[in-house]
């Protein structure tokens, strides 16, 4: 996914348990814990299953490194779970009260282990709000040049016409020019693009000439812009750095802009 995202600066975070402790002791813990339990509890799920699933609902904003990373699992999550309680208690069906109490204890143990062995996380965020589309649409000369270039690159059939299927190719080629990810990189943006193509009736594969080709691309971009105006899409990426890093600071300076590294994120 990350290969096509905008190259934003990567912030290096040192997860040392401090933020996680603050969350567990905060006034918002109870509300968030109840909300998380309602999402992870299903039927006869055990307390162990609920606690493990709950960690995936926490992010670096809570002070939790990616819970799916092998280093985090092996050195933090599994040892903390073993320390938390006896197997008999963890394998019982989870109640909200038990989850509420044990989850707070679990986070405290994880925070302590992070204090003993901090985890370094590369964090980056991207926001897709339609501003890049609006900018290109407002500059007619630049937009016309872009459309000319896209039309010049698509295969032509007889009588200088091309199939509508090449609208997808053209849209993907201009994604970087309008600050959008390539199709397939971000599911939420893909859904917006799919809807825009549907609204423009641009997905039936019929042949179009140059004027209609450019008109359809303009309509699709306009539809994408309007949808993103009302529903901004934010995407974050978090990657655990397995090389040791020693620093007293909890937040290091951003690195130079570089491609984001893909990793599961919440």
- Could you tell me the residue ranges of all domains in the chain? 17-119, 130-230
Q: In this predicted structure, what is the pLDDT of residue 265?
A: 41
What is the C-alpha separation between 140 and 131, in angstroms, rounded? 16
Phi, psi of 8 (to 5 degrees): -85, 155
CATH topology classification for 130-230: Recoverin; domain 1 (1.10.238)
Q: In this predicted structure, what is the pLDDT of residue 87?
A: 64
pTM confidence score:
0.61
Mean pLDDT of successive 10-residue stretches along the chain, which has 266 residues? 51 94 95 94 87 94 93 94 81 90 95 95 90 95 96 88 94 93 90 95 90 96 94 88 52 37 39
Q: In this predicted structure, what is the pLDDT of residue 126?
A: 87
Helices (H), the chain: 18-24, 29-40, 47-55, 70-72, 78-84, 87-90, 96-116, 131-137, 140-153, 166-173, 187-199, 210-230
Q: In this predicted structure, what is the pLDDT of residue 39?
A: 92
Q: In this predicted structure, what is the pLDDT of residue 113?
A: 96
SS3 content of the chain, % helix, strand, coil (to 5): 55, 10, 35
Q: In this predicted structure, what is the pLDDT of residue 41?
A: 84
Q: Which residues pair with 128 in a beta bridge?
A: 233
SS3 assignment, position 222: helix
């Amino acid at each position: 996914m990350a290969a096509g995202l905008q190259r934003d600066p990567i912030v290096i975070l040192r997860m040392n348990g401090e933020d996680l402790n603050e969350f567990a002791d905060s006034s918002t813990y109870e509300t968030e814990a109840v909300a998380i339990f309602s999402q992870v509890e299903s039927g006869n799920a055990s307390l162990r299953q609920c606690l493990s699933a709950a960690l995936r609902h926490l992010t670096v904003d809570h002070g939790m490194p990616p819970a799916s990373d092998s280093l985090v699992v092996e050195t933090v999550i599994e040892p903390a779970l073993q320390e938390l309680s006896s197997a008999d208690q963890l394998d019982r069906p989870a109640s909200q009260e038990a989850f509420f109490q044990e989850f707070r204890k679990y986070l405290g143990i994880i925070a302590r282990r992070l204090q003993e062995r901090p985890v370094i996380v590369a964090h980056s965020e991207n926001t897709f709000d339609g501003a890049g589309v609006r900018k290109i649409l407002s500059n007619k000369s630049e937009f016309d040049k872009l459309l000319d270039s896209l039309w010049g690159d698509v295969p032509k059939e007889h009588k200088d016409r091309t199939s509508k299927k090449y609208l997808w190719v053209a849209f993907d080629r201009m994604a970087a020019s309008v600050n959008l990810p390539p199709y397939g990189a971000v599911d939420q943006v893909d859904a917006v693009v799919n809807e825009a193509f549907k609204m423009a009736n641009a997905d039936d594969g019929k042949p179009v000439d140059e004027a209609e080709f450019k008109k359809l691309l303009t309509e699709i971009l306009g539809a994408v812009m309007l949808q993103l105006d009302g529903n901004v899409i934010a995407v974050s990426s978090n990657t655990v750095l397995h090389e040791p890093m020693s620093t007293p600071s909890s937040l290091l300076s951003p690195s130079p802009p570089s491609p984001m590294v893909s990793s599961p994120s919440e």
